[in-house]
A and B are shown apart, each in its own frame.
Chain A
């Protein structure tokens, strides 16, 4: 195995594209090193991205935010302005592992690992985030939900890497929330995760919404019917019931020791209900 720590994106792409064997970008390493140790992967080349200054930045872009691919969850949560703008993204990043793990783990790594239970992915999807991907053929931007294509499989081509995550400009009276259910209070993998973003008008009616579920299917699920169920409403009980039903219908989970199919399905509806209420309170500036 070779280890490289280039200082520019161009150099990183050239290394990844030029390797004849298997090449992996290294962000926080909280998945990569575990997979190397277990023998699941045996890279010929590891490219540490953390010495590329642009990948370490949190900055404003196009009225929204650009979060460099090597920015850790801890750094996101220390950025007061970003936390205020996108509390759901921040709380999802904060849920990833322990203090030690969140000190290294990145949004880009969480996305590219393509675990069904990845916590930040439903939050990013709900926020309408894009991944800016850079590779030998140049740059492109795709919705984050197009990155994971199966369990531990992503859509990136050889030589490509995520350069940053882009969060859109936030309309007035908009906010987001991410909730997950785990069998204990810390350090476990999501049984269900739910990210929601909403925009309200001055009277409190929902004008836009996005709902995404994690851990209920091989990849993140966008619940379009759930969003439609609450748009045009003031989140009355009937709207919340319809949202919960739509989320239950969108689930295609597995049975495992953390939860049965039935349980996961019910929890998905319950979390969506709770998350949308929190997001709406945040959008109103109540919390």
Chain B
């Protein structure tokens, strides 16, 4: 078995890594690049804890092969805050207490950010459908949905 040499970019920064052909991009991010913000809940596409963007498209990192990342742009939770300044969604999640244990939170944030980039004025139904692939065993979802709706409103008003 020979390792594959991959060059790509994570949150805008060029990265190079070696991976085995069967490794997922989630394994690569966490175990090779030390970026453990992206979580593993199920490893089978069901929970959304591993949500990232690949060339701008929201995907589950556990269902992408590491080798597929050659030349692609990867976006992870680590790229969300601007230094010490949290992204508006991150602030609202804290304000609304939209997390408890936090394991689902990076996935929800990455997924919600991708929604608001595509649709700055989603209905509650649209938010719930968009986030249906992100599971949370703690919050009961309501606070998450409210945090996303509230962020969208603030961002539309230019309040953030």
Binding site for B on A (CB under 8 A): 1-3, 5, 26, 28-30, 33-34, 36-38, 46, 48, 50, 72, 74, 97-101, 103-104, 185-187
Contacts and interface: CB of A to CB of B under 8 A. Distances in A.
A34 B44 CA distance: 5
A1 B68 CA distance: 14
Contacts of A104: 57, 59-60, 63-64
Given A1-B1, A36-B22, A100 B133 contact: yes
A33 B68 contact: no
B133 A101 contact: yes
A230 to B, nearest CB: 32
A46 B45 contact: no
B111 interface: yes
B27 to A, nearest CB: 11
Interface string B34-61: 0000000001111010010000011110
Nearest to A102: B133
B45 A186 contact: no
Given A99-B133, A103-B57, A30 B63 contact: yes
B24 A103 contact: no
A99 B131 CA distance: 7
A33 B58 CA distance: 17
Interface in B115-152: 115, 129-134
Contacts, number: 84
Contacts of A99: 58, 111, 114-115, 129-133
A28 B45 CA distance: 12
A39 to B, nearest CB: 12
A74 B129 CA distance: 14
B62 interface: yes
Contacts of B133: 97-101, 187
A33 B46 CA distance: 13
A72 B1 CA distance: 31
B126 to A, nearest CB: 11
Contact of A50 (B68, B115, B129): B68
Given A99-B115, A103-B59, A104-B63, 20 more contacts: A26-B68, A29-B63, A29-B65, A30-B45, A30-B63, A33-B45, A34-B44, A37-B44, A46-B65, A48-B68, A74-B57, A98-B132, A99-B58, A100-B51, A100-B60, A100-B63, A100-B111, A103-B57, A104-B59, A186-B129
A158 B23 CA distance: 25
B160 interface: no
A5 B24 CA distance: 15
A187 B132 contact: yes
Given A29-B63, A99-B130, A3 B45 contact: no
7 contacts: A29-B64, A33-B64, A97-B133, A99-B58, A99-B115, A99-B129, A186-B129
Contacts of A38: 44
A29 B4 CA distance: 19
B14 interface: no
A1 B65 CA distance: 12
A46 B21 contact: yes
